[in-house]
Amino acid sequence: MKDATPQPIRLADYTPPPFLVEGVALTFRLAPRATRVTSRIRFRRNPDAQAQDLRLDGEGLRLISATIDGVPITAQPDATGLTLPGGDLPDAFDWAAEVEIAPEENTALEGLYMSNGMYCTQCEAEGFRKITFYPDRPDVMAPFTVRVESELPVLLSNGNPSAQGDGWAEWDDPWPKPAYLFALVAGDLVAHSDAFATASGRAVALNVWVRPGDEGRCAYAMDSLKRSMRWDEEAYGREYDLDVFNIVAVDDFNMGAMENKGLNVFNSKYVLASSETATDADFDNIERIVAHEYFHNWTGNRITCRDWFQLCLKEGLTVFRDQQFSADMRSAAVKRIEDVLSLRARQFREDQGPLAHPVRPDSYHEINNFYTATVYEKGAEIIRMLRTLVGEDGYDAGVRLYFDRHDGQACTIEDWLAVFAEATGRDLSQFARWYAQAGTPRLRVTEDWDEGTGRFTLTLEQSTPPTPGQPDKAPQVIPVAVGLLGPAGDEIMATRVIEMTDTRHSLTIEGMPARPVPSILRGFSAPVVVEHAVTPERRAFLMAHDTDPFSRWEAGRGLAREILVAMVRDGAAPGPDYLDALAVTLSDERLDPAFRALCLRAPSEDDIAQALVDAGETPDPMAIHTARERFQRAIAAHMDDGLARAFIAMETPGPYSPDARDAGRRALRLAALAYLSRNDGGDRAARLFAGADNMTEQMGALGALLQVGAGQSEVARFHRQWAHDRLVVDKWFAVQVALAAPESAVETARSLTRHPDFDWKNPNRFRSVLGALATNAAGFHAPGGAGYALLADWLIQLDPVNPQTAARLSTAFETWRRYDPARQGAMRAALERIRATPDLSRDLSEMTARMLG
């Protein structure tokens, strides 16, 4: 630990900055080991703040010189910055400084670093302080000008280009921004260029910058960008506000991408795509992430966060906006199901364990540890509920007021809620609990039917389990979308939203001719767990008749989950009712193939483990794996003909297109193939692999083979074919580990870490082996604890090099308390070993401390 007694940062301690910044001018003289950064910063005393010293954050900087209003000062920086005594400072002054940094030695990929000979930056959350001395906090917003000097041909920064010459370029960003949105890129890059005319007629030059040779793989990112720009104008009335918009792809990046003003930096995996090298899922992610970063231009950049506790203000809203965009571009129903699957897999899991935290946390040690599914995905669910509660028009009015009132400001969740309260006249004080209370609410549903009077009563009860630091929870506002079906499957009450505010809520409907079947939480109207004891027949009925596609899928899902839980407990087999219902879904040509593919997907091993924990049981990962495998074999055996027909019928003739229609057909085709391989030993998959002309089918076929214990020659062939392509080689590493049999997963991962292509300092490559191991539940949790030990060894090795990525991957251990004493002991020992490592980063110290509790 860097600090003997590290103190958390608390929301309650927020104070406004004592000085504001009117303008910043930066000059970079780039050199790998000795980049010189000069800064000129115009400060002005903040009339709304109490008198205080001015703290300039700065880490790992060699201070060469500093002046105030041209007068040299002898500043003595400490390990995290320097303090200028407030009482000695004029009300307005110029700070100038020169520092030296070494981008080549920056392996943490935060601040200014190098990736394959190219300079790039990552400043969110607190990376700017590794570039120069500055009040590195989001509520200090300023216009920036930047001069970059380097022999490299392409020199980029935020805003508009203002001048350039041989070996230098200057950029001017007129929009005030916090330092976390600063960016600089310099490299030997080529552009895929295009143009966009905004609704009011501004001509915007668009560029996707990549390494030479990659320019043929940018078209989809560019197309996604143009669609995002148009969509934000049409759906939110938001126009782009600069003359250029640049996207740069870098190979070494800790996260997905970053919304720096006018200069988005992307993990190359979310930019580069061709049909031969990228799967449908990759195309989908590119579209989503390009949109997400673009949408931040208004939700995050023009209006930013007052402090990092408000992270969900920009992230929850921007995720919600990218979800709306994807729903408009593709099938809304399929998109909703996919989003719920991901929410449950990542956010519900987080909420169940020691890392549970509110969407707006109230304290942290390292903010980088809070870029979580809770802040992002649950944050988006809160916006969705808000929209449901205030209605579309109320939402539009509130959002308009938000942009009008807060443009150019650094805001809080209170500001966000206030515009809706004002625009709609609603009291949102109870709703605000969604931001403050951690944990996933449980919604217990009971029904009462009075045959004599035809009275049907639905009773809902909410409770939220305790989470770290929050033993007791108050009731939340839960919008529960409910519909009723008649016994013949007809809709007798269209969807209506029950607004639950108390612990208990009843809805009574009189005069029903026959007992209705309720469909509850349509569209997944709130991020809660529904506990509703219903018979398998009832679920099968909803699976066949519900008019809400989400609930229809959910009924089948619930059925599958219950069957799997029973199979884990007593080795039961899936009954013919479920198998017949699934067969009907598979061959129902009125249903979107992508939807049918989702219905065929068995709940994951982690889902089953969560279901067992919910039932108060201890999950056995091996028993879960075996049960799930038997479940899939039973489906394959029962539906062989239908699957074979779907496999043929879903072929996509003609050239590859990543559009939703063809992608949905391939999803169903490959889901069928994975089952069929259990019947034919992988014959069809081997043929498809041999003839595939696109990565979706090549990977789908390889996965199907590995799942049935075949595919070793294909694995070798795949590597020979793609050894030159980093992103494809990442897939090659990941698929072998993720789909290895439980008994060989750890050895597979270990041997791949010795492969000459295993470049462990590259985050994508590290995740492709060690991240993939954690997704292979039965393999990671194999008896003896070798998986835990291997991951711990690698996290300890990575931590001094790249603490952020090490800390993120440590969440593989967050479920440790679920398991039997032997596994608990081994996981705990791994965590304790990490925690005891000398000089552990703040990132990993905080994560291990929270997990160990």
Q: What is the DSSP string of 719-756?
A: HHHHTT-HHHHHHHHHHHHHTS-TTTHHHHHHHHTTST
Q: Of the two residues 259 and 339, which places its CB atom closer to ligand 0A1 in the complex?
A: 259
| Smallest distance from ligand 0A1 to CB 245, Å | 16
Q: Of the two residues 375 and 670, which places its CB atom closer to ligand 0A1 in the complex?
A: 375
How distant is the alpha carbon of residue 810 from its chain centre?
Answer: 16
Residue 255 binding ligand 0A1, by CB under 6 A: yes
Q: What is the DSSP string of 438-469?
A: -SPPEEEEEEEEETTTTEEEEEEEEE---BTT
Select the binding partner of residue 248 from Zn ion, ligand 0A1, none (C-beta < 5 to 8 A, by kind). Answer: none
Q: Of the two residues 75 and 380, which places its CB atom closer to ligand 0A1 in the complex?
A: 380
Pairwise CA distance, residues 599 & 591, whole Å = 11
- Contacts with ligand 0A1: how many residues (CB under 6 A)? 15
Select the binding partner of residue 805 from Zn ion, ligand 0A1, none (C-beta < 5 to 8 A, by kind). Answer: none
Select the binding partner of residue 460 from ligand 0A1, Zn ion, none (C-beta < 5 to 8 A, by kind). Answer: none
Q: Of the two residues 110 and 607, which places its CB atom closer to ligand 0A1 in the complex?
A: 110
Among residues 136, 259, 338, 730, which is the contact residue for ligand 0A1, using CB under 6 A? 259
Token digits for 682? 């992988």
Which of 27, 67, 13 lies closest to 43, judged by CA?
Answer: 67
Residues at the contact surface with Zn ion, assessed by CB under 5 A: 315, 318
Residue 251 binding ligand 0A1, by CB under 6 A: no
Tell me which residue has its CB nearest to ligand 0A1. 255
Q: Give the HSE-up count for residue 604: Cα atoms under 13 Å, Cβ half-sphere.
A: 15
| Smallest distance from Zn ion to CB 692, Å | 34
Q: Of the two residues 300 and 527, which places its CB atom closer to ligand 0A1 in the complex?
A: 300
Stretch that binds ligand 0A1, among 35-43, 248-256, 453-461, 574-582 (CB under 6 A): 248-256
Residue 252 binding ligand 0A1, by CB under 6 A: no
Q: Of the two residues 120 and 418, which places its CB atom closer to ligand 0A1 in the complex?
A: 120
Among residues 101, 258, 380, 830, which is the contact residue for ligand 0A1, using CB under 6 A? 258
| Smallest distance from ligand 0A1 to CB 538, Å | 41
In the chain, the amino acid numbered 144 is: F
Select the binding partner of residue 371 from ligand 0A1, Zn ion, none (C-beta < 5 to 8 A, by kind). Answer: ligand 0A1
Q: Of the two residues 315 and 620, which places its CB atom closer to Zn ion in the complex?
A: 315
Contact set for ligand 0A1, span 198-237 (CB under 6 A): none
| Smallest distance from Zn ion to CB 46, Å | 28
Residues taking part in catalysis: 293
| Smallest distance from ligand 0A1 to CB 798, Å | 15
Q: Of the two residues 315 and 814, which places its CB atom closer to Zn ion in the complex?
A: 315
SS3 816: helix
Select the binding partner of residue 255 from ligand 0A1, Zn ion, none (C-beta < 5 to 8 A, by kind). Answer: ligand 0A1
Residue 254 binding ligand 0A1, by CB under 6 A: yes
| Smallest distance from ligand 0A1 to CB 287, Å | 14
- The CA-CA-CA angle for residues 266, 271, 277, to 5°, reads 140
Phi first, then psi, for residue 309 (nearest 5°) are -65, -25
Residue 643 binding ligand 0A1, by CB under 6 A: no
522, 552 Cβ separation under 8 angstroms: no
Among residues 240, 266, 325, 371, which is the contact residue for ligand 0A1, using CB under 6 A? 371
The site string for ligand 0A1 over 751-790 (x = CB under 6 A, - otherwise) reads: ----------------------------------------
In the chain, the amino acid numbered 19 is: F
Which of 384, 286, 386 lies closest to 336, judged by CA?
Answer: 384
Token digits for 749? 């991962």
Q: Which residues contact 27 (CB under 8 A, 6 or more apart)?
A: 36, 37, 38, 146, 147, 148, 149
| Smallest distance from ligand 0A1 to CB 318, Å | 7
Cis upstream peptide for 749 (omega within 30°):
no
Burial class (CB within 10 angstroms; exposed 0-12, middle 13-18, buried 19+) of 3: exposed
Pairwise CA distance, residues 667 & 672, whole Å = 9
Q: Which residues contact 721 (CB under 8 A, 6 or more apart)?
A: none
Select the binding partner of residue 500 from Zn ion, ligand 0A1, none (C-beta < 5 to 8 A, by kind). Answer: none
Residue 811 binding ligand 0A1, by CB under 6 A: no
Residue 257 binding ligand 0A1, by CB under 6 A: yes
Residue 122 binding ligand 0A1, by CB under 6 A: yes
| Smallest distance from ligand 0A1 to CB 384, Å | 18
Q: What is the DSSP string of 126-146?
A: TTGGGTS-B--STT--EEEEE
412, 310 Cβ separation under 8 angstroms: yes
Q: Of the two residues 371 and 656, which places its CB atom closer to ligand 0A1 in the complex?
A: 371
222, 195 Cβ separation under 8 angstroms: no
Select the binding partner of residue 258 from ligand 0A1, Zn ion, none (C-beta < 5 to 8 A, by kind). Answer: ligand 0A1
Residue 179 binding ligand 0A1, by CB under 6 A: no
Token digits for 108? 């943490």
Pairwise CA distance, residues 292 & 576, whole Å = 44
Token digits for 693? 């002309």
Q: What is the DSSP string of 640-708?
A: HHHHHHHHHHT---SS---SHHHHHHHHHHHHHHHHHHHHHTTHHHHHHHHH--SHHHHHHHHHHHHHT
Among residues 106, 368, 519, 775, which is the contact residue for ligand 0A1, using CB under 6 A? 368
| Smallest distance from ligand 0A1 to CB 482, Å | 34
Which of 584, 579, 600, 739 lies closest to 669, judged by CA?
Answer: 600
- The CA-CA-CA angle for residues 407, 413, 416, to 5°, reads 50
Stretch that binds ligand 0A1, among 7-15, 18-26, 250-258, 483-491 (CB under 6 A): 250-258
Contact set for ligand 0A1, span 300-359 (CB under 6 A): 315
| Smallest distance from ligand 0A1 to CB 226, Å | 19
Q: Which bin fits 437, alpha (ψ -120 to 50), beta or left (φ > 0)?
A: beta
- Residues in touch with ligand 0A1 (CB under 6 A): 122, 124-125, 254-259, 292-293, 315, 368, 371, 804
